[in-house]
Structure 1
Amino acid sequence: MSFRIETDGLGEIQVPKNVLWGAQTQRSLHYFSIGRELIPHEMIEAYAILKRSCALANASSGRLSQEKCDLIVRICDEIIKGQHDQMFPLHVWMTGSGTQFNMNVNEVIANRASQITGQPLGSKKPLHPNDDVNMAQSTNDNFPSAMYIASALAVHRKLLPALDRFENSIEQKSQEWSDIVKVGRTHLQDAVPITLGQEWHGYVGMLKDNKERLQQALRGIFALALGGTALGTGVNTEAGYAEKACQEIAHYTKLDFHSGNNKFALQGAHDGLVHLSGCLRTLAGSLFKIANDIRLLACGPRAGLGELTLPTNEPGSSIMPGKINPTQAEALTMLCLQVMSNDVAVGMGGAGGMLDMNAYKPLIIQNIMQSLTLLHDGMENFRKFLIEGTTANKDHIKQALDHSLVLVTALSPIIGYDKASQVAHHAVEHGLSPREAALELGFIDGATYDKVADPRLMLKPNIKR
């Protein structure tokens, strides 16, 4: 491999000849070759949006020439389109501020400008990575701002639409199964009747609540630290710069980003991201319950509950022919546990900020972006390959309902709790249905039993005076 020589504040260093990154990126690759995780791809676009917005803000005040601004905007647009993705090779496990990634972006923009204008790579002409591309910025304010931008875009573009589709699919099943009466279960034991539609309507409510939580969390993500520079004081910026730069970000993304009122809080802590991560954990918990419920209701199918029949996607065993497993549920529940674990890391990283800057930034954004990706992909797969193809085993559901002892619950207002309990025990001891047991004990006549113990009357308030 051939090299060129670039310089930074520490002196000279060899950089591969044809790459667009520079000295500080190369030092990071040398000193932080830890693990396989790279800075999340979403941060590349977020930083490009941020850099173009800062350039526009600086140009509007005359601090940055229009020629340099136009060049930065042009290159940022290339980066946003994914044209230079391979030029961002840095690992997550680096400095906790993310400084080298900020410089990676600055160096790529500066060297691409040199390339466009026919200047040697590393010449820092016509753009200097610090003086021009990083003008009025510090990693301490632009890295958290990029984290917020990346997170908000991912929630808005991917997670919420996937959650909408997931909820709609569940809602369709709820409506389709609104007339299928089944045995409810508490403590995994038979309970009073419920419709399969009502059971799934509960899932719909959980998902709606999660959407509201995410939308509320987004409001805390829209306030940006940008303009605070090193510590939140705004040193090396002009009055009005922060507001202008954030307005440009809002205009470009069409989201409600704005300059945060208290940049000391936004730079010393990243509580907005911690809150968002907590909402992702809550969504993961809801999906975990839904997936586990579905695979439990489908278990068997002949030696288990067998109320649901799942799609036959792939063989379930290498030794047992015909075995089909709830693999989509397994995948979803596994990724939900990963999201819950990620939230622990985000929470600890958020709490770990010391004095005027949090030094766990790459850890926080790595875990949040993984959680967002896993939840999006998991919901999409579970919806397409399980929910949409799942059917109700109506005959089996009816058979279980007809033999359920909990129908005696409807007798309590008529014959009293104690006698209703005797009916249940008598049915168990003598292998009778609840109706047969009630008639044999002489507690009620057949016509009255049929009238009050109709499972459909137990699906809503049923006492009349």
Structure 2
Amino acid sequence: MENFRLEKDFLGERKLPCNVYYGINTLRASEHFNVSGKKVNFKLIKALVIVKKAAALANEKANLLSIEKSQAIIKACDRILKGEFEDQFITDSLQGGAGTSTNMNVNEVISNIAIEILGGKKGDYSLIHPIHDINMCQSTNDVYPTALRIAAIRLLRAAADSFSKLQTALQVKENDFSHILKLGRTELMDALPMTVGQEFGAYARAVARDRWRLYKVEERLREINIGGTAIGTGMNAPQKYIFLITDILQDITGLGLSRSDFPVDTTQNMDVFCEVSGLLKAAAVNLIKISNDLRLLGSGPKGGFGELLIPAVQTGSSIMPGKVNPVILEMVSQVSMKVIANDTSITFAASSGQLELNAFSPLIAENILESLEILNNAVISLTKNCVNSIKVDVNKCKFNLDASTALVTALEYYIGYDKASEVAKKAINENRPIKEIVVDEKLLSTDLLDKILNPFSLTSPGIPGK
């Protein structure tokens, strides 16, 4: 029994194992672009398959493709969408050709599955051809960007939802910790009193902005260039097909996709992905800030700030017994750094497109989908494994506040800046609480001092005690 089949293109003939569903184009791509060891993101593959399914339906309704062929193609697509044949999509995520190799990999696999559905043998493209039938009325240059938008929207929605849950978790802590007074710090030095709730409230509002930005940017991703074919002019794509496929894609995906009113623009310009990536970068910046703050406030347990109790999720050292590290926060920071790095490469790739096409869309696709996936997963873990279970060491917060000179600022209105400075200096030199010095030197009455140093008064707008 022959273990190989012959396929040919205009460059010549090649042998392929009889059991594989990809064809000669995919084989050549696997040889030429074997660089990263990472295959094309399967979520992008599935989105491409959805586009192929919609194209088959549109071509059938436009009387361009027989019902027999379209039904076989649709069945093949459905099998892939259920998770079958994932091992047949072998092209490297980094490839030349603006995604042509990935598009052809999808065309060939669908074609050979459909051929078998019709009772034929893999490679008998007289039954269903990868280009003439699967790629009918299409080009990589309209299929690939359209699929990328579909994949990105789905991941974007998941990310926005995860940020929403993180926002809620932070708001719960804001409320739970609203009565706990602590030392606020600027430039890592003692500043003014605040509540732990106020600190978490600031985190919640930063995350809320990220959630809203990610939610809104989906609007720009909904505009697709399918039907524009090679450069957006729509050559070889009949009007009936162009209108049908967008409507069908809306039905299949459940997304509010819309036809670009100028596909030449949508085909050649990748700034939308820069915008999405830029918002992911902004979110990553906030996550790093929050993670660093939580690590610092939870440092110790004896030699650090020790004001927050970070949940212990695993032992922290192979040599130091009893050590526990803030590993979830460290992971979130690293993921965020990766997202920022991805944004840089997306920026370079999007700006390097020339004339009617961007040849570097595979790099954009790989990095934007990776950023969306890893940021979403990191935020889910941050919420579940850290924020939800964070506690406060109330006594340590009180100790750090009482031991600082932060309270002296509240007295400035009553005793003046210079006298307040003297009290602060004395407190530092003698290692005594501010309140004790003020009482001993009879600078203010005990009743007024208690009124000034009331937690609500200290953490609200206006002059404390007034």
* Bucket of the pairwise TM-score, normalised by the shorter protein: over 0.9
Q: Secondary structure at the match of 2:239?
A: coil
Distance in 2, matches of 1:381 and 1:210, equals 17
Determine whether 1:231 maps to 2:222.
Answer: no
Distance in 1, matches of 2:341 and 2:3, equals 43
Deviation at 1:462, TM superposition (A): 3.2
Deviation at 1:240, TM superposition (A): 4.1
Distance in 1, matches of 2:4 and 2:284, equals 47
Deviation at 1:286, TM superposition (A): 1.0
Offset from partner CA, 1:84-110 (integer Å, 9 cap, x none):
111101102221411011111111111
Q: Secondary structure at the match of 1:437?
A: helix
Q: Secondary structure at the match of 1:124?
A: coil
Distance in 2, matches of 1:338 and 1:102, equals 27
Determine whether 1:432 maps to 2:423.
Answer: no
Distance in 2, matches of 1:3 and 1:190, equals 74
Amino acid at match of 2:64: R
**Which residue of the partner structure matches residue 147 of structure 2?**
146
Q: Secondary structure at the match of 1:299?
A: coil
Amino acid at match of 1:112: I
**Which residue of the partner structure matches residue 367 of structure 1?**
367
**Which residue of the partner structure matches residue 108 of structure 1?**
109
**Which residue of the partner structure matches residue 208 of structure 2?**
208
Deviation at 1:184, TM superposition (A): 0.9
Root mean square deviation of aligned Cα = 1.6
Amino acid at match of 2:170: I
Amino acid at match of 1:323: K
Is 1:44–1:80's contact at 8 Å kept on the other side of the alignment? no
Summarize the alignment of residues 41-120 of structure 1 with structure 2, pairs less than 5 Å apart: 41-120=42-121
Distance in 1, matches of 2:278 and 2:41, equals 20
Deviation at 1:453, TM superposition (A): 2.3
Summarize the alignment of residues 300-339 of structure 1 with structure 2, pairs less than 5 Å apart: 300-339=300-339
Is 1:407–1:455's contact at 8 Å kept on the other side of the alignment? no
Is 2:98–2:358's contact at 8 Å kept on the other side of the alignment? yes
Offset from partner CA, 1:228-277 (integer Å, 9 cap, x none):
11111000011143332122112111111111122111111111111111
Q: Secondary structure at the match of 1:6?
A: strand
Distance in 2, matches of 1:180 and 1:205, equals 19
**Which stretches in structure 2 are left out of the alignment for 5+ residues?**
none
**Which stretches in structure 1 are left out of the alignment for 5+ residues?**
none
Is 1:96–1:358's contact at 8 Å kept on the other side of the alignment? no
Normalised by the length of structure 1, the TM-score is: 0.96
Deviation at 1:205, TM superposition (A): 0.7
Deviation at 1:174, TM superposition (A): 1.7
Summarize the alignment of residues 132-143 of structure 1 with structure 2, pairs less than 5 Å apart: 132-143=133-144
Offset from partner CA, 1:364-407 (integer Å, 9 cap, x none):
11111111121122112222222222211111111222233111
Cα distance 1:82–1:125, how it changes in 2: closer, same or farther (>3 A)?
Answer: farther
Q: Secondary structure at the match of 2:233?
A: coil
Is 1:113–1:125's contact at 8 Å kept on the other side of the alignment? no
Q: Secondary structure at the match of 2:120?
A: coil
Amino acid at match of 1:143: Y
Amino acid at match of 2:110: I
**Which residue of the partner structure matches residue 404 of structure 1?**
404
Summarize the alignment of residues 13-28 of structure 1 with structure 2, pairs less than 5 Å apart: 13-28=14-29
Structure 1: 4+ residue segments shifted above 6 A: none
Structure 1 range deviating more: 176-185 or 234-243: 234-243
Amino acid at match of 1:334: Q
**Which residue of the partner structure matches residue 413 of structure 1?**
413
- Aligned-pair identity in percent equals 35
Distance in 2, matches of 1:172 and 1:259, equals 42
Distance in 2, matches of 1:186 and 1:31, equals 54
Is 1:232–1:264's contact at 8 Å kept on the other side of the alignment? yes
Is 1:328–1:382's contact at 8 Å kept on the other side of the alignment? yes
Is 2:160–2:212's contact at 8 Å kept on the other side of the alignment? no
